[in-house]
Structure 1
Amino acid sequence: MDAVDWDKDDPFEEQREHVESPMRRLLFEYGRPYWFSMAVGFGSSILARALDLLPALLLAVAIDAVFGDAVFHEQVPLVVLPEAWLPTTASGQFWFVAVVIAGSFVLGALFHWLRNWGFNAFSQDVQHDVRTATYDKMQRLDMEFFANKQTGEMMSVLSNDVNQLERFLNDGLNSATRLVVMVVGITLLLFWLNPQLALISLAPVPLIGVFTYVFVKKIQPKYAAVRSSVGKVNSRLENNLGGIGVIKSSNTEEFESGRVEDVSRKYYDTNWGAIRLRIRFFPGLQLLSGIGFVLTFVVGGYWVFTESGPGPFTGTLQTGTFVAFILYTQQLVWPMAQFGQVINMYQRAAASSERIFGLMDERGRIERDANAEDLEITDGRVEYESVSFSYDETDGSVSQETQRANRIIDDVSFEVDGGDTVALVGPTGAGKSTVLKLLLRLYDVDEGSIRIDDRDVREASLSSLRRSMGYVGQDSFLFYGTVEENITYGTFEASREEIIEAAKAAEAHEFIRNLPDGYDTMVGERGVKLSGGQRQRVAIARAVLKDPDVLVLDEATSDVDTETEMLIQRSIDHLTADRTTFAIAHRLSTIKDADLILVLEDGRIVERGTHRELLESGGLYSHLWGVQAGEIDELPQEFIERAQRRQARTDVDLDDD
């Protein structure tokens, strides 16, 4: 599969398209605070590489002056020293050169150490800041973003893409500095020593430039495809490991191994395409670099033998100068060949930077006002006024009829007095959860408004709004850690006494006390060491400890047995006292005592009232109650046909997803 196909499937393709100059942005936005370590790295690298060039030049001095007939103090590296400092005897000159060469190695080692410290400190600091900034941005994105991305894909950005930056910021910048210093330094020295022979030695450089340009144009899309394929492998592995229980119980290990093999093969093909191009480029680059060495050896060697310039060349070439040319040309081969490695690291880092900054630049539908004031709830009165919402953003080109057809919530209005309990019921896909997600501002309404104590929730700061809310869901997520850490999540400063009181109110204290380490018991990944009912009660204890003004219960007892449901319902009754509560329920027996029951169908409120009033009305609620009471034979045919149509629409939506 080629790179273009992978780009089409890249979940971050849309974000990447709008990123401009990702590497410049990386260095200026995240590298600027660490200018000192970067300056140390660059400065030390320049000095270290300059000192690396000194021994070959001193060797030429020794050959031409100490062993030949050249004037010692007139040699190139010595003209900066006063003549009085230089020895006059051959042995003195020999040991002087030896000491200077040894000193250059000692100083070079010091600067190499400083170079490594500078570049490593710079790369680690930038990498740390980028990772934390990317995660912070990611967790603040709208829920709509997470609904369209797989966990493995996002992990690929936070882990693989961020880690890819380190190699360039450390090895890449270091190698680039070395390359520039070596190429520029050697070029200047060669022209200083013998401009005519320098032209021969540097003849392949233009060819290397063209060769590298072609490589960059071809490799860039391939690396973007590789980064995308890594995310797909991570997504498949994360998905399978998360569902390992289902895989084992379904005896589908062979099937899942095949699916992992498929995504791994696609990654293999994509990565191997980039590798094939790379392994053809580097030997070719080294071959071009070697041409300069061969030309220098042939022309320079002939020049020394004949003691006169071959062809158009004039003058003489001393043996020491020829040796310096050979050594410098040999030193030039590796930096020129390494130039491809620098470009390789740069392109990989650029592809990763595009994905990182594409994510950072993601704009959500929820508008955040940095100057919004905190929400202060006094009565807890909640009002929905003509609220409509759809998950798909629309523009002016879409007709009103189409917009209305795509709505998940359509013209919903109701009022809740402070301290009352409101239940939302209805068939699957009716929009119950979406109604409450709008209250939490996990999404923003398209039309209408939601107010708490007469204040629009969009005018309050998000932190204060969500701080005032308590949420207990059907699938109570527990973090890896202890029972106490999960109860105090969000209320981190709570004392042990407050934690125990919250657990007692949630009917959780007794089972926690019987755990191996009590409140210090590790719950395992996602709380797997606890039963479903135990996890629910820990989640309720978390909500009790938070002491929210408004409580949201999303089918908090739907997946537990009858006895556990009784215990959980008791704890919920304690929790809902004297606070505004919203409860979503499929099991209608859990909400029959609610102050108000709203019945939703196709995103609209079709009935409202108390449990008794709705049963007496003989509408949708009474039919749903009849289903749960086992009175299926008494249900009207119209209700059954509507249920079949709703189920068909739900199946189509799931297939589309």
Structure 2
Amino acid sequence: MSTENQPSEGSAPGEGGVATEVGERPTAARTNRPGQPTAGPGRFMAAGAPAEKALDFMGSMRRLLRLLQPQRAALAGVLVLGALSVAMTVVGPKVLAQATDLIFAGVISKGLPPGATKEGVIAGLRAQGNSTLADLYTRVDLMPGQGIDFGAVGQILMIVLALYVVASFFGLVQARLTTRLVQNAVYQLRRDVEEKFARLPLRYFDRQPRGEVLSRVTNDIDNLAQSLQQTLSQIVTSLLTVVGVLVMMFLISPLLAVIALLTVPASVFVAAKVGKRAQPQFIKQWSTTGRLNAHIEEMYTGHSLVKVFGRRAEAEQVFKEHNDTLYTASFRAQFISGTIQPAMMFIGNLNYVLVAVIGALRVASGSLSLGDVQAFIQYSRQFSQPVTQIASMANLLQSGVASAERVFALLDAEEQEPEPAEPARPDPVRGRVEFHDVSFRYLKDTPLIDDLSLTVEPGQTVAIVGPTGAGKTTLVNLLMRFYEIDGGRITLDGVDIAKMDREELRDKTGMVLQDAWLFGGTIAENIAYGADDVTHEQIVEAAKATHVDRFVRTLPEGYDTVIDDEGGTVSAGEKQLITVARAFLAKPVILILDEATSSVDTRTEVLIQRAMNTLRAGRTSFVIAHRLSTIRDADVILVMESGHIVEQGDHETLLHSGGAYSRLYAAQFAEAMAETD
């Protein structure tokens, strides 16, 4: 099948353009959700969206974590490596406390008379009334007359160094594994989104500005990947550190551990309150980013029209309003969320002061050694640090969840009806098309086509004419199953197309639209786009039949000339010729021409018309056109008004009937006929 862009009358889908046929496809301009930008380069998006509702944060988080389920082995590896790294890091201060005790004992022991015993020194101090110092010495391993045992201290320091080196190695491997895990998850998410696009009905893209969709696929997924990358490993490490440190603190001193835990409720309360205020701002930040992207994309696509109609100032004003809204939302989100870390640091400092003071009193009373208190202070820092880190990552986490919610909304969008398990196939395919009492409407309350019946015999050329909004393009859209009918049925050679596979149905159909679509590649590649396994000779043959060859041979690179995705290196008429050649090469059973010659001059139109006569031979053809040269030779001309066929017949019969076609001819084609004749 050769399909030149998605079908529309007057605008391409997803560009946000307002359809030129009222009632044809509803665009974002008419079906906006609250706060959705108004579409079209000439109808700027409404600035200043209403405040966004908060996400189901925990529900979205659970769904986000489910993305990692297929990689359970890697996730288990992250947890194991994190646990090993944290275990060695947590043990470090306890081992280091032994070195502190050795140094402290050595300093005190050096000042004591050699030969004295620990018990004697303590008894002497109590006899002198110095009970406090005596209590302190009870926790010290005194060796009177000896100094610091630097050999033992060195061994302990080497053990601590080895622990930290191995912990760092495990942390490095964990970070690499986390990177692989996250990137694989995001890779799969992008694939899911791409596959979702294939299952979405055209209605979805009618209601979404292109920039908004692109923002979800690019900006939001990139932000989600960055958030997961920066938070997943850190959160795992931080949570394990909290657990490990808490265990060590209770082993050293349950009293000090309870005191350290007193600040946890305050930390949780602060993080929860601030996070609740920041989350709506993150949602607004990313939704506004989508609207801003949609506006920029529309203004870029319609740049020429914006300048021609002098709307640059208005476009800049709308951009400024969206940009200001984005700035405000981003500033508030980052500022509010950024207050978590200093608040947590303040609470952590209070915890440090409490532990230091009470720990000193415990050392003085002989309940703890100096090394234990030093280790406990380290643990209190290690305990508050991961809590602070988790809180400081709240902005990344909230931002990532806000983006995830937008991507999930796309993935949850209503899909088109699934393909039948056992699709029907017409045999043979001759091209007989029948509409049986077909009804369809884009909006539930706005009827468009009601009880339309039509029979087109194989090989017939059917021209469809009518005023704007009559339903001409809708008719062929329904035949292609771009939309599903609300009532009745459409058959191809007696087989209901609803029971056929969409891809197989469209493979039998060639389509040339008013808005020619070319992709970045050579001219030969663009012509061959609608067919499989074609040779260069077949491409040239199709080009000659459609008069593409005559201008291609004037180009320096010929068929290897590279054109960009906008076709800027060829004229509008030449673009249209290439798309006609594409349909010619596909050799479809059914041919649909929707204003296919509207962008070419009179001489080129004659050439295309000759090619079309060859192309239509033996094929069922539907031609939507206003130019008389395109429709006067059709086997049947259908005149549509308000979704109904009001007249049908050949050109001469309808012209002399004095009905709707005659009036349309007099209004639109009389002058053109005079020029042609």
Q: TM-score range by the shorter chain?
A: 0.7 to 0.9
Of 363, 371, 376, the residue aligned with 1:325 is: 376
- Specify the alignment match of 2:496 in structure 1: 456
- Specify the alignment match of 1:351 in structure 2: 402
8 Å contact from structure 2 (residues 54, 279) kept in 1: no
C-alpha deviation, 1:282, in angstroms: 2.4
Superposition RMSD in Å: 2.6
For 1:54, give the aligned amino acid.
V
- Specify the alignment match of 1:644 in structure 2: none
State the alpha-carbon separation in 1 of the partners of residues 668 and 582 from structure 2.
Answer: 31
Question: Normalising to structure 2: TM-score of the pair?
Answer: 0.82
- Specify the alignment match of 1:99 in structure 2: 158
Pairwise mapping of residues 60-459 of structure 1 onto structure 2 (< 5 A)? 60-65=97-102, 67-68=104-105, 90-304=149-363, 307-308=364-365, 315-364=366-415, 366-374=417-425, 378-393=429-444, 406-459=446-499
For 1:9, give the aligned amino acid.
G
Secondary structure at the aligned position of 1:606 is classed as strand
C-alpha deviation, 1:630, in angstroms: 3.7
State the alpha-carbon separation in 1 of the partners of residues 615 and 472 from structure 2.
Answer: 21
C-alpha deviation, 1:614, in angstroms: 0.6
Change beyond 3 A, Cα 1:42–1:170: farther
Change beyond 3 A, Cα 1:377–1:158: farther
Secondary structure at the aligned position of 1:526 is classed as coil
Matched, 1:546 2:605: no
8 Å contact from structure 2 (residues 227, 396) kept in 1: yes
C-alpha deviation, 1:434, in angstroms: 0.2
- Specify the alignment match of 2:15 in structure 1: none
Higher relative contact order (CA 8 A, sep 6+): 2
- Specify the alignment match of 1:45 in structure 2: 82
State the alpha-carbon separation in 1 of the partners of residues 487 and 207 from structure 2.
Answer: 23
C-alpha deviation, 1:159, in angstroms: 0.9
8 Å contact from structure 1 (residues 472, 554) kept in 2: yes
Change beyond 3 A, Cα 1:482–1:375: farther
- Specify the alignment match of 1:311 in structure 2: none
- Specify the alignment match of 1:505 in structure 2: 545
State the alpha-carbon separation in 1 of the partners of residues 160 and 552 from structure 2.
Answer: 73
Of 535, 559, 569, the residue aligned with 1:495 is: 535
State the alpha-carbon separation in 2 of the partners of residues 474 and 330 from structure 1.
Answer: 69
For 2:78, give the aligned amino acid.
G
Question: Normalising to structure 1: TM-score of the pair?
Answer: 0.85
State the alpha-carbon separation in 2 of the partners of residues 18 and 453 from structure 1.
Answer: 50
C-alpha deviation, 1:375, in angstroms: 5.2
State the alpha-carbon separation in 2 of the partners of residues 551 and 456 from structure 1.
Answer: 19
State the alpha-carbon separation in 2 of the partners of residues 18 and 490 from structure 1.
Answer: 45
1:630-652 deviations in whole A, cap 9, x for unaligned?
469xxxxxxxxxxxxxxxxxxxx
Matched, 1:598 2:638: yes
C-alpha deviation, 1:585, in angstroms: 0.7
State the alpha-carbon separation in 2 of the partners of residues 16 and 413 from structure 1.
Answer: 49
Greater CA deviation, 322-331 or 543-552?
A: 322-331
Secondary structure at the aligned position of 1:363 is classed as coil
State the alpha-carbon separation in 1 of the partners of residues 55 and 419 from structure 2.
Answer: 24
C-alpha deviation, 1:628, in angstroms: 3.5
C-alpha deviation, 1:50, in angstroms: 2.2
8 Å contact from structure 1 (residues 18, 358) kept in 2: no
For 1:196, give the aligned amino acid.
L
State the alpha-carbon separation in 2 of the partners of residues 462 and 485 from structure 1.
Answer: 24
Which one has a bigger Cα radius of gyration?
2
Change beyond 3 A, Cα 1:7–1:422: closer
C-alpha deviation, 1:367, in angstroms: 4.7
- Specify the alignment match of 2:28 in structure 1: none
State the alpha-carbon separation in 2 of the partners of residues 301 and 19 from structure 1.
Answer: 43
1:550-592 deviations in whole A, cap 9, x for unaligned?
1110010122211121122122122111111111011122111
Of 589, 611, 626, the residue aligned with 1:571 is: 611
1:160-189 deviations in whole A, cap 9, x for unaligned?
211122133222111111211111111111
Give 1 or 2: higher helix fraction: 1
1:98-134 deviations in whole A, cap 9, x for unaligned?
2212211321232122111111001111111111211
- Specify the alignment match of 1:398 in structure 2: none
State the alpha-carbon separation in 2 of the partners of residues 259 and 544 from structure 1.
Answer: 44
8 Å contact from structure 1 (residues 430, 601) kept in 2: yes
- Specify the alignment match of 1:555 in structure 2: 595
Change beyond 3 A, Cα 1:14–1:189: closer
For 1:63, give the aligned amino acid.
T
Gaps of 5+ in 2: 1-31, 38-48, 109-147, 673-677
State the alpha-carbon separation in 2 of the partners of residues 509 and 500 from structure 1.
Answer: 7
C-alpha deviation, 1:376, in angstroms: 5.1
For 2:76, give the aligned amino acid.
A
8 Å contact from structure 1 (residues 15, 362) kept in 2: no
C-alpha deviation, 1:19, in angstroms: 11
1:60-98 deviations in whole A, cap 9, x for unaligned?
01111465289xxxxxxxxxxxxxxxxxx9444223212
C-alpha deviation, 1:509, in angstroms: 1.5
State the alpha-carbon separation in 2 of the partners of residues 248 and 576 from structure 1.
Answer: 41
State the alpha-carbon separation in 1 of the partners of residues 487 and 395 from structure 2.
Answer: 50
Gaps of 5+ in 1: 1-5, 71-88, 309-314, 394-402, 633-657
For 2:320, give the aligned amino acid.
E
State the alpha-carbon separation in 1 of the partners of residues 427 and 54 from structure 2.
Answer: 40
1:285-310 deviations in whole A, cap 9, x for unaligned?
22112211121122223433xx21xx
